[in-house]
Amino acid sequence: MEFFVMALALSEAEGVATIHEPPENLPFKSFRFHKWKPLKQLVKEPLKFHFSEDHPRGEKLVDLQHNIRGLFIVSEKLAGILDGHANIGFIPAEIFDHAGELASDTHCIANFLDVCDYVGHEKSEYVTDSFDEDGFFSTNKLVFDDARIDPAIEVFRLKQSPRTVVLSGALVQKIEHTDVQGPLLVPIESFDNTCYLGC
């Protein structure tokens, strides 16, 4: 099976809005978005994001919105593609533009809840996290062990690096056929997490 990492570019594309700050009404610490735990029940109202003032020319909304927090802020279109193919909690969000006006109330945060340990350690290239001997500090190449793969799981977080979200090749084809903008879909064999945001 083919697999791809869904990633964000280090810098936003020209004209695309970027988000620097966590939601102003976040009821928990933002690191919890990367712990594959259900969070939707903790959120009582849409989470409020604002375009970054450091990028005044960035005004465009896309299907995976650029942000430095490594969050998966997805459009209704991308959420619709992912829904049904993964165990995901969709958390409502509102995005406000530079003038403080509502730019979108249809984006949401995709909280991926499946986590898998498919890494073939002998062929993968990575640096172990000094604070977690089972975790990765960085990766230069990922190779999965075919014997561990569950073909029924099409989207999952990597156990050794929960910020890294992996998609099946079949699902990537569906995304590419719908003109989705924003996500970078990187083959795992060439994935170097230092080249992307939040992975």
Domain count, the chain: 2
Asked whether the beta carbons of 54 and 21 are under 8 A apart, the reply is no
Radius of gyration of the chain (CA): 17
By the 8 A CB rule, do 39 and 91 touch?
yes
Q: Are residues 132 and 100 in the same domain?
A: no
Q: Burial of 53 by CB count in 10 Å (0-12 exposed, 13-18 middle, 19+ buried)? A: exposed
Contact between 101 and 55 under an 8 Å Cβ cutoff? The reply is no
Distance CA 193, CA 199 (A): 6
pLDDT score recorded for residue 143 = 94
Residue with tokens 């499946």: 114
Task: Name the domain boundary from 57, 91, 112.
Answer: 112
Same domain, 146 and 101: no
CB 9 within 8 A of CB 193: no
Domain boundary residue among 112, 129, 151? 112
50 and 65 belong to one structural domain: yes
- Confidence at residue 41, expressed as pLDDT on a 0 to 100 scale: 85
User: Does 122 lie in the same domain as 108?
Assistant: no
Our measurement of the distance from residue 22's CA atom to the centroid of its chain's CA atoms, rounded to an integer in Å, reads 15
Note down the domain range covering 161: 115-197
One domain for residues 103 and 123 = no
The verdict on residue 6 lying in a domain is: no
Q: Based on the fold, state whether residues 50 and 141 are members of the same structural domain.
A: no
Tokens 């102003």 correspond to: 24
pLDDT one digit per residue (tens) for the chain, 199 residues? 899 999 988 777 889 999 999 998 998 888 888 777 888 888 889 999 999 998 888 999 999 999 988 899 999 999 999 998 889 999 999 999 999 999 999 999 999 999 999 999 999 998 888 887 788 888 888 999 999 999 999 999 999 998 999 999 999 999 999 989 999 999 999 999 888 876 6
**124-152 b/e (C-beta count within 10 Å ≥ 16 → b):** bebeeeeeeeeebeebeebbbeeeeeeee
- Is there a domain that residue 3 lies in? no
Residue 135 within a domain:
yes
- My answer on whether 67 and 138 are in the same domain is no
Q: Indicate whether 62 and 132 sit together in one domain.
A: no
* Residue from 86, 54, 66, 63 nearest 17 by CA: 66
Where is the domain boundary, 88, 112, 136? 112
Dihedral sign of CA atoms 78, 80, 86, 88 in order: positive
